[in-house]
Amino acid sequence: LDRSTREIELGLEYGIPTMNLAGQSLKFENGQWVAESGSFTGDRREMQRLRKRNQQLEEENNLLRLKVDILLDMLSETTAESHLMEKELEELRSHSRRRK
- Helix H, strand E, coil C: the string for 37-75 is CCCCCCCHHHHHHHHHHHHHHHHHHHHHHHHHHHHHHHH
Q: Are residues 28 and 52 in the same domain?
A: no
pTM beyond 0.95, yes or no = no
Q: Are residues 60 and 75 in the same domain?
A: yes
Residue 16: closest CA among 1, 38, 31, 37: 31
Q: Are residues 88 and 46 in the same domain?
A: yes
Residue 34: closest CA among 15, 13, 17: 17
Q: Are residues 32 and 46 in the same domain?
A: no
d(CA 39, CA 25): 6
Per-residue pLDDT of the chain (100 residues; tens, 9 = 90+): 677 776 677 766 667 778 887 777 888 888 888 877 655 556 677 778 889 999 999 999 999 999 999 999 999 999 999 999 999 999 999 988 887 6
Q: In this structure, are residues 16 and 29 in contact, taking their beta carbons and an 8 Å threshold? A: yes
Q: Are residues 33 and 46 in the same domain?
A: no
Q: Are residues 60 and 29 in the same domain?
A: no
Q: Which domain holds residue 31?
A: 1-37
Q: Are residues 31 and 61 in the same domain?
A: no
